[in-house]
Structure 1
Amino acid sequence: MVATSIDPHVHRAVLFDMDGVLTNTARLHSAAWKVLFDQYLAERSPTPSEDHRPFTDDDYRHHVDGKSRVDGVLDFLHSRGIGLPRGDVGDEAGGETAHGLGKLKDEHFLRALDEHGAEVFADAVSLVESLRRHHVETAVISASRNCARVLERAGIEQLFDVRVDGVVAAELELPGKPDPALFLEAARRLGIPPSQTAVVEDAEAGVAAARAGGFALVLGIDRAGLPSRLADAGADVVVSSLDEVTIAASGQRRLSEIPDGLVHWNAISSRLRGRRPVLLLDFDGTLAPIRKDPAKVSLSVRTRTALQNLARWCPVAVISGRDLSDVRGRVRVEGVWCAGSHGFEMAGPGGEPIAQETGKAALPVLDIAEQRLSAELEPVAGALVDRKRFALAVHYRNVRLEEVGRVVSAARQVDAELPGLRMAHGRKVVELLPDIDWNKGRAVRWLLERAGLTGPELVPVFAGDDYTDEDALREVHEDGLGIVVLSAEHGDRLTWAHCSVDGTRALIDLLTRIAPPARRRPVP
């Protein structure tokens, strides 16, 4: 199978190697091995049958990378015509056994780690976070006994449900790569069979191990510019960056593949099948254009008038990440349902607010998160910490490009350290939300059922523009119509929408076609 996408319906878990995939510690390992072997070969008495040339990058890739330190010592020295006893775990560091030299290499590595730290690959973290948002379980695999220490230094230990490393391998007496034992143990601990699990590896030994284990997808990440070595080892597909990997379930398409709803109206209208529409609309970026200052976002007179006319003839709801009181104050259209904080609180036309009780437990934690992020990001020009009742939004639209990483990292760190929260990404914003099984999609379904707006004669129509709207677009994908409002900021991402429109004015034109006056009847 050749693909650059992970399907959450097929791949229920993804196993990540650490060094070279998640963290740039492979260079520290390679440097530590070079110090060890160059010194050992220089001090060892030469013989005609032994090769004492310095350790190279090719030696690291072919004989050491991905293997346990003891196997790495034995395999490399064997390639140079040198045989050493394996020894045991009690051997002194630097002793002339595989365990002794392996311990000395470990000392070199830890000194380098303390000096240089653990650099994280942003593309890997982004992919892991996206997988978790799609409810795909994740595990980290490493032959290193220092895996936990590296993950902690990198600040990403919370991103993985399971860790199988050199310590676990020693405790269970698991053979190292290219044997698949480490990967199989991780899949076992996740409770997901290899046939439903993908593996991401950068080492030849790791790719070979995953292939031998019968995993559904073996994805090679080549950061060294030598893709053929991973393909030859058995990788299904090799990428140069994990940004090339998408998470695409059946039914998703890229924005560039989505037809314009006005241009291709006849094809789109067939989804309505003469049923009465229920309009479910996002606010920022959908009904109202995005502004640098969120407080200045407002409905145009044309849009408000159109919404008022639509609301007289078909059910209309506005679902926003803003607080309920905020979105109601900005919409100001009679007869419209409003949902705030991505659906954590709602109100019917003229009715009292209804809040999700399970989200209230996170309110004190959100207070703490607000205090911490406000203090930490106060020196960052343009950063805006926007507290809503059930969410904390951190906007970086006005932050200099070189400072964006600092803003996102600060939010990620608070999310990792405070219980009961989860992080979501949007257009130039990250949000901390209550960590419960709730999103715009569930909010849409709950609102439809609560308002009695379900049945064969009704069709839900959702329109949104952002990543956070995809849950709702997916919710209506089978029985409704999904509309995405295009923005250059989102590039050519994947979407569940059936059609697109170019901006708010085009959306209003399309909604007027969906609920034309001739087919409208008053809302009871």
Structure 2
Amino acid sequence: MTNQNVVVSDAKSGIGLALFSSAVAKPPPAAAQGGGFVAIPRKKPLKKLETGSGAARISAWVDSMRASSPTRKPLSESEDQIKSSWILHHPSALTMFEQIINASSGKQIVMFLDYDGTLSPIVEDPDRAFMTKEMRKAVSDVAAKYFPTAIVTGRCRAKVYNFVKLSQLYYAGSHGMDIKGPAKDSNNREVNANANLNDNQGLSFQPAREFLPMIDKVYKVLLEKIKSTPGAKVENNKFCLSVHYRCVDEKSWNALAEQVKSVLNDYPKLKLTQGRKVLEIRPTIKWDKGKALEFLLESLGYANSDDVFPVYIGDDRTDEDAFKVLRDRGQGFGILVSKGPKETNASYSLQEPSEVMHFLRRLVEWKKSLLHGH
């Protein structure tokens, strides 16, 4: 494959763009054990856009907002080549299902699932991001009978639970800053000794509890600030805030970024990150979806175990923290849900939630046949 410098709009964290060139790194664990496909291309930053302060920072934010919201248009020949090369190096998890299963042989698969864009479609109104009955059944079959399963999301934990309505899952809301689940998993393993336990509520962990009053205050201020920007919406996810601009005219993005910045200037303990058409305000503590994944594995009794095979499926740049943890651990793999090329630490890809559902169904079918000797 020829090296091509491309503008990447899905940097792992922070606000800003970077230029990357392709470079091949070592294969993920699945490749090493299952064989049959090429190594994942890793990308090395050549130049990073300085965010600076004041007007320069606003400009960087808006540029990043625009880059992460590409206009739908036919691919040029060079773009088509980039997409083909990306798919070659991030093959479909459905196409490579047998290799994935082979790599997990003799180990306990643990499932980690993002919600928006993974289990439900991305919609204009975040309060209407409902999952289908078929998807709920697929998730239920995976979690209830065969594999410990967690939903890891930027959303408020209670809101996602109302969407999913499955009590046997672990739920990690607010990018993993609000974790709750049953006290023991299906294998009756004891949970993390550092977590709070309650016979009625099960596992509970909130590493950013001290920030709750500050988050509530900023939420109220932001509600007033963005009233002048049509289509903007602030969602209170308890331990973080989401400023949605999916329904905001692009001409107003600069004004919206100014409004958000003017509020954050007074709160240095909060930071701004970006997701899919959303600006996210979070505490500055070193906690993210990757940390949540590690905490949950420890809670399930797999902290230093070679007998576990974690699988994380997500579509957002915030999921990259979890993908990177799995790559660094050399255990399991990440699956990115995306219809187009993105810079990612995931090993495989799926194009949309319907493919995620098919992947989960195949996992259940495989486990059934394994247990019944078919």
2:281 to 423, 432, 441: 432
| Percentage of matched positions with identical amino acids | 30
Specify whether residues 519 and 314 from structure 1 end up closer, same or farther in structure 2 by C-alpha distance, changes over 3 A only: farther
Q: SS in structure 2 opposite 1:476?
A: helix
Write the mapping of 1:408-423 to structure 2, written as runs, cut at 5 A: 408-423=257-272
Alignment partners' CA distance in 2, 1:474 and 1:393: 23
Tell me how far 1:446 sits from its aligned partner.
Answer: 0.3
1:519 to 355, 361, 370: 370
1:294 to 126, 149, 162: 126
Specify whether residues 442 and 467 from structure 1 end up closer, same or farther in structure 2 by C-alpha distance, changes over 3 A only: same
Tell me how far 1:501 sits from its aligned partner.
Answer: 1.1
2:17 to 119, 122, 127: 127
Q: SS in structure 1 opposite 2:119?
A: coil
Alignment partners' CA distance in 2, 1:254 and 1:412: 35
Alignment partners' CA distance in 1, 2:96 and 2:155: 33
Q: SS in structure 2 opposite 1:317?
A: strand
One-letter identity of the residue aligned with 2:147 = C
Write the mapping of 1:75-90 to structure 2, written as runs, cut at 5 A: none
Tell me how far 1:377 sits from its aligned partner.
Answer: 1.0
1:466 to 296, 309, 316: 316
2:204 to 354, 357, 367: 354
Alignment partners' CA distance in 2, 1:365 and 1:327: 22
Specify whether residues 429 and 255 from structure 1 end up closer, same or farther in structure 2 by C-alpha distance, changes over 3 A only: farther
Tell me how far 1:511 sits from its aligned partner.
Answer: 2.4
Q: Please say if 1:376 is aligned against 2:228.
A: no
Tell me how far 1:4 sits from its aligned partner.
Answer: 5.4
1:275 to 107, 120, 137: 107
For the Cα contact (< 8 Å) 1:254–1:494, is it kept in 2? no
Write the mapping of 1:251-330 to structure 2, written as runs, cut at 5 A: 254=86, 257-311=89-143, 312-330=145-163
Count of aligned pairs: 289
Alignment partners' CA distance in 1, 2:262 and 2:370: 52
For the Cα contact (< 8 Å) 2:112–2:152, is it kept in 1? yes
One-letter identity of the residue aligned with 2:357 = I
Q: Deviations over 1:328-372 (max 9, x none)?
A: 121112311111111111111363462324x12322322332233
Alignment partners' CA distance in 2, 1:300 and 1:262: 20
Tell me how far 1:255 sits from its aligned partner.
Answer: 6.2
Tell me how far 1:420 sits from its aligned partner.
Answer: 0.8
Q: Which has the higher contact order (CA 8 A, sep 6+)?
A: 2
What corresponds to 1:145 in structure 2?
none
**More strand by proportion, 1 or 2?**
2
One-letter identity of the residue aligned with 2:309 = V
Specify whether residues 495 and 333 from structure 1 end up closer, same or farther in structure 2 by C-alpha distance, changes over 3 A only: same
For the Cα contact (< 8 Å) 1:255–1:494, is it kept in 2? no
What corresponds to 2:190 in structure 1?
none
2:55 to 134, 154, 176: 154
Q: SS in structure 2 opposite 1:495?
A: coil
Tell me how far 1:127 sits from its aligned partner.
Answer: 3.5
Tell me how far 1:514 sits from its aligned partner.
Answer: 3.4
Tell me which structure has the larger Cα radius of gyration: 1
Specify whether residues 370 and 274 from structure 1 end up closer, same or farther in structure 2 by C-alpha distance, changes over 3 A only: same
Normalization by structure 2: what TM-score? 0.69
For the Cα contact (< 8 Å) 1:324–1:339, is it kept in 2? yes
Specify whether residues 255 and 326 from structure 1 end up closer, same or farther in structure 2 by C-alpha distance, changes over 3 A only: farther
Tell me how far 1:321 sits from its aligned partner.
Answer: 1.1
Q: Deviations over 1:139-184 (max 9, x none)?
A: 999xxxxxxxxx6653649x9xxxxxxxxxxxxxxxxxxxxxxxxx
Tell me how far 1:125 sits from its aligned partner.
Answer: 6.5
Normalization by structure 1: what TM-score? 0.50
Alignment partners' CA distance in 2, 1:497 and 1:271: 16
Moved over 6 A (4+): 138-141
Specify whether residues 273 and 140 from structure 1 end up closer, same or farther in structure 2 by C-alpha distance, changes over 3 A only: closer
For the Cα contact (< 8 Å) 1:314–1:520, is it kept in 2? no
Specify whether residues 394 and 140 from structure 1 end up closer, same or farther in structure 2 by C-alpha distance, changes over 3 A only: closer
Q: Which ranges in structure 1 are unaligned for 5 or more consecutive residues?
A: 7-123, 129-135, 142-150, 160-252
Alignment partners' CA distance in 2, 1:314 and 1:266: 18
1:342 to 156, 175, 179: 175
What corresponds to 1:28 in structure 2?
none
Alignment partners' CA distance in 1, 2:291 and 2:54: 36
Alignment partners' CA distance in 2, 1:156 and 1:482: 32
Q: Which ranges in structure 2 are unaligned for 5 or more consecutive residues?
A: 8-13, 19-44, 61-84, 183-199
One-letter identity of the residue aligned with 1:154 = A
Q: SS in structure 1 opposite 2:321?
A: helix
Alignment partners' CA distance in 2, 1:520 and 1:317: 23
What corresponds to 2:332 in structure 1?
480
For the Cα contact (< 8 Å) 1:256–1:492, is it kept in 2? no
One-letter identity of the residue aligned with 2:173 = G
Q: SS in structure 2 opposite 1:126?
A: coil
Q: Please say if 1:365 is aligned against 2:214.
A: yes
Alignment partners' CA distance in 1, 2:94 and 2:273: 31
